[in-house]
Structures are given as structure tokens and as C-alpha cells.
Amino acid sequence: IWSDVLTYVRNNISEVEYHTWFAPVKTLGVREGSLVIGVRNSFAQEWFRKHYLGLLEDALRSLGAENPQVSFEVLPAVQEAMIMPEASSSPAVATPTPPPQPRPKPVPAPELSKVLNPKYTFENFVVGPNNNLAHAAALAVAESPGKAYNPLFIYGDVGLGKTHLMHAVGHYLAEKYPEKRIAYVSTETFTNELINSIRDDRTTQFRDRYRSVDLLLVDDIQFLARKERTQEEFFHTFNALYENHKQIILSSDRPPKDIQTLEGRLRSRFEWGLITDIQSPEFETRVAILKMNAEQANINIPQEVLELIARQVNTNIRELEGALMRVVAFSSLNNVPFSRTVASKALSNVFAPQEVQVEMPEVVRAAAQLFEVTTEQIKGTGRARDIVVPRQIAMYLIREMTEHSLPEIGQFFGRDHSTVMHAVNKVTEGIKRDEELAAQVSRLRRHLEGLHEAEA
């Protein structure tokens, strides 16, 4: 029935739309007379309710349902579970068949591909100044597990790629050494499994499982706070693995020293290896991430549209991807090509209009255009007057229109902060006396503001 529903849907919407929305969903079966569809996140859930409920009901009706009902459920981001090569079956010794007796439920050992998100690979990870240290550390660990840094501790705010990097190490190792045992688990799952194993009198199995892996990935370890029993258990797991030179990777939203009520002995162990952080991506990295996502989905989106999206969503990468999805869906639903206007419309009611944020490269590009020089010249070292003036104006406008500090601006131009300060002063003074200069600066400013008019 599900494939019939999909066929119906496919015949009634565009290919891009189908691909964007229906390729990633799956049916969770029929529950209480309602067809339950699993979607990837709450944004998709909302989108489906709004845009596809009717279509799906029609599809069911066309298949004979009289009073069709459809509901949408958010799938867990990653199905977690232990991943292990099949435990070797018991030795082939003839034994009398034992009478059937209740046995502890076997631990499911799902395919690695189901546990690690196939998208979360090193190839799909865009490296920028915000994450290059964490990326390099993860790669080093993937190449020589147990030897480079142990444990590797990655921290950073939500949605910045911690889980992605952990999975990437898992994929890398699984491919290079198929015999290695890899376990990915969230701290929450680890805790729940522990509690269940205590309840069911299966703590030995629990221990054996976690202490026999080659790579242990534990996500969101900050949730160990205030869980004494789990901390105790994890302490022993950690020691067992560490002593056997097995690799451990931990993620957290904060560094070990800031995890309250974490036992001292655990904290110090977390600090034995390498602690590295991931920061919010800067504009160029955000654009690169969007570009990669668009390319992978085989969708051709103009650079300026990607830039507009990257400007609106400037912290969380998950939201950045959600914004891209929304723009893609919007333009395909309305059957219009991608443009800045379409993009800002698509995003207008999701991302509250905010103070427009101009980015440094945009200012440089606009100045280059106006003065008919190249961006390379502006960012270069040439001292000719017809380059120095646009360069100083660009520095001045960046200082005026962005939150960047003098040293940050200096770094962007490959100069120190005093050069920037000099430029800012020079232009500030200059526009008081020089009308032509004042006009040029204000034209540039208006141009840059205009770039953002649509989305404000």
C-alpha cells in the first residue's frame, strides 16, 4: 500500500518536490486506523501537515479508503544501538536440546549503516576555521585509533557537527577495518540500558558489550551530570577500554570542567587526551555547507540565493539545512525559479526579521564593483591610490555595518588592527570634507542595505 501511495504522490507533484520531501520519509505502518509516516524533523512534520496531508488522504482514497487518516511522526535522528559484528555462534558441540526457557532478550545487532547516519562522513563535512581543529583531531584518531588522542573530547553548541564528526570516525574505521567493533551511543541510551540491565539482572552482559569494542562513541556526555550510578559504570568502562588502548570519543555541549557534578576522577580522565571545540561557522563556511547540500541533492541554486540563506541563519547548521529545504520546497511548490526574492519569502515567517547582517566579503565585493577594481586588489597589498581608497572605505563600512572587531577586520584583510583603525579614522574624517567621497560611501552603504531589503 505504501508504494501505491508513493506512486500516487509522485504522479501528482513535481520531481524536485517529490525528491525533496518524499524520498527521505518512510511509513511506520498503520496505527489506530491512521497511516503513520516518519519524517526527519519537526520542520518536515509541520511542512507535511500543511502541504501534503490532503494529497496523502487523496492517495488513500484512491486506493479505496473511505475515511483516510494520516499522521506524521518525527523519526529519531539516528537509530542508536550497539553495532557489532555477529557474535560468533556457540561451538558446534552436540548437546541435548534444552527445554525451552525464557532467555534474556538478545541485543539487536543492526547493520552498521542503520546506526551510523550514512550522511555523516568526512567527505560530507565542510571544514572551516570554526571546526578545523576538531576535524583534524577526528581524522587523526580515525587513522590511528587508540594512539593519537585518547579520549578525544569534542565540545560545542547544538547543531554544529559534533555527532557528524563522531559518525565520520565510525564510518572511516568501519571501512578500513571491517573487523573492528564500533559502538555509538548517546549518554541517555547508555544510562537507560544500564538501568534496564540492572533491573533484568544482566549487568554482566551490559559490561561485556561496552568493554569489548574497539571504538566507543558516546554522544552528549554532559548528561552524565547528577547520575552517580551511571558515572560509576562509565568510569569502569572507560578504564577497561583505555587500558586496552581502545579509542574513546566523547561529545558534549561544554568542556569537562564545566560539567557540574561530574566526578573528579571522570573529569580528569576526560582531560587526558585532547579537548577540542567547534564554533559557529562563519559566513563562507555556511555558504560552502549550503552549496554542498544543494549539489548533493542535485539542485542548482544561484550563489546569491545561497548567500542570502547563509546570512539569515547564522548559528545552527541544522537550521541552516532546514532553511535550504524550505527554500527548495517553496520554489518547487510555487513552480518558480530560485531567486533572492523567493528565498526571502520562503524564510520570512520562519526566521523573524532581524537586524540585517552584512558580511565582510560582500562589502569588499560591493566596493570593488563601485570602484572598478578587483576584490583581490582590495584585499591585496597594492599601495596605489585608486586601490587604497576603496580598501579604506571597505574597512570603514565593515566597521560600521558589522559587529566585527578591529583585529577581526584586520585579519580578514591580512593586516593588523592599527591599519584598520587608521582607515576608519581616515574615512570618518574624509567624508566630513570631501563630498564626492561622502557620496560614494553612502551609495555603497545603500547598496549593501538594499541587498538585504528583501529579507528584512
Q: Which does 27 bind (CB under 5 to 8 A by kind): ligand ADP, Mg ion, none?
A: none
Span of 154-162, 167-175, 276-284, 308-316 interacting with Mg ion by CB under 5 A: 154-162
450 is in an annotated binding site: no
Residue nearest to ligand ADP (CB): 161
Binding mask 186-215 for Mg ion (x = CB under 5 A): ------------------------------
Indicate the residue among 155 and 338 with the shorter CB distance to Mg ion: 155
Partner whose footprint covers residue 317, from Mg ion, ligand ADP, none (CB < 5 to 8 Å by kind) = ligand ADP
Instruction: Work out what residue 160 binds among ligand ADP, Mg ion, none; the CB cut-off runs from 5 to 8 Å by kind.
Output: ligand ADP
- What's the grid cell of residue 218? 558516546
Q: Is the distance from CB of 402 to CB of 385 less than 8 angstroms?
A: no
DSSP 82: E
Question: Does residue 10 contact residue 21 with C-beta atoms inside 8 Å?
Answer: no
- 68 or 159: CB nearest Mg ion: 159
Q: Which is nearer to Mg ion, 71 or 316 (CB)?
A: 316
Distance CA 385, CA 377 (A): 12
In the 8-state DSSP scheme, what is residue 258? Answer: G
Report in angstroms how near the CB of residue 158 gets to Mg ion at its nearest. 7
- Alpha helix stretches (DSSP H) within 89-216: 112-115, 132-143, 162-176, 187-199, 203-211
Q: Cα(388)–Cα(391) distance, rounded to whole angstroms?
A: 5
Minimum Å gap between C-beta 329 and ligand ADP is 17
In the complex with ligand ADP, the residue whose CB is nearer, 120 or 190, is: 120
Query: Is 428 known to sit in a ligand binding site?
Result: no
180 binds, among Mg ion, ligand ADP, none (CB under 5 to 8 A by kind): none
Q: Which residues contact 154 (CB under 8 A, 6 or more apart)?
A: 134, 137, 138, 162, 165, 166, 249, 250, 251, 252, 276, 277, 278
Taking alpha carbons only, the member of 352, 290, 238, 246 closest to residue 126 is: 290
Among Mg ion, ligand ADP, none, what does residue 120 contact (CB within 5–8 Å per kind)? ligand ADP
Q: Counting contacts by CB under 5 A, is residue 163 touching Mg ion?
A: yes
Does position 344 interact with Mg ion (CB under 5 A)? The reply is no
Q: Is 161 annotated as a binding residue?
A: yes
Q: Which is nearer to ligand ADP, 36 or 75 (CB)?
A: 75
**Closest distance of CB 291 from ligand ADP, Å:** 10
- The nearest distance, CB 52 to ligand ADP, in angstroms, is 22
- Contact segment (CB under 5 A) with Mg ion among 4-12, 157-165, 337-345, 415-423 equals 157-165
What contacts 5, CB < 8 A, 6 or more positions away? 27, 35, 56, 59, 60, 63
Q: Are strands 215-219 and 70-74 parallel, antiparallel or unpaired?
A: unpaired
Please report, as ranges, the residues that interact with ligand ADP according to CB under 6 A.
Answer: 119-120, 124-126, 131, 156, 158-164, 289, 317-318, 321
Shortest Å, Cβ 123 to Mg ion: 19
Q: Which does 172 bind (CB under 5 to 8 A by kind): Mg ion, ligand ADP, none?
A: none
| Cβ–Cβ < 8 Å for 34, 346 | no
Q: Long-range pairs for 372-379 at CB < 8 Å and ≥24 separation?
A: 379/412, 379/413, 379/414
- Rounded to a whole number of angstroms, the minimum distance from the CB of residue 362 to ligand ADP is 22
**Interaction of residue 117 with Mg ion, rule CB under 5 A:** no
Identify which of residues 325 and 431 has a Cβ nearer to ligand ADP in the complex. 325
112 binds, among ligand ADP, Mg ion, none (CB under 5 to 8 A by kind): none
Distance between CA atoms of residues 314 and 41, nearest Å? 19
Q: Which is nearer to ligand ADP, 165 or 342 (CB)?
A: 165
Check residue 79 and report its DSSP letter. Answer: -
Binding partner selected for residue 387 from ligand ADP, Mg ion, none, CB under the kind-specific 5 to 8 Å limit: none
User: Which is closer to Mg ion, CB of 162 or CB of 311?
Assistant: 162
Q: Quick one: which H or E segment has residue 47? A: helix 42-51
Selection from Mg ion, ligand ADP, none that 126 binds (CB < 5 to 8 A by kind) is ligand ADP
Q: Using CB atoms within 10 A of its CB, is residue 270 exposed (0-12), middle (13-18) or buried (19+)?
A: buried
Q: How many whole angstroms separate alpha carbon 289 and alpha carbon 286?
A: 5
Nearest to 76 by CA among 196, 206, 189: 189
55: left (phi over 0), alpha (psi -120 to 50) or beta: alpha
* Cβ closest to ligand ADP, residue 139 vs residue 240: 139
Q: Which residues carry a binding-site annotation?
A: 159, 161-163
In the complex, which residues of this chain contact Mg ion (CB under 5 A)? 162-163
Q: Which residues carry a binding-site annotation for ATP?
A: 159, 161-163
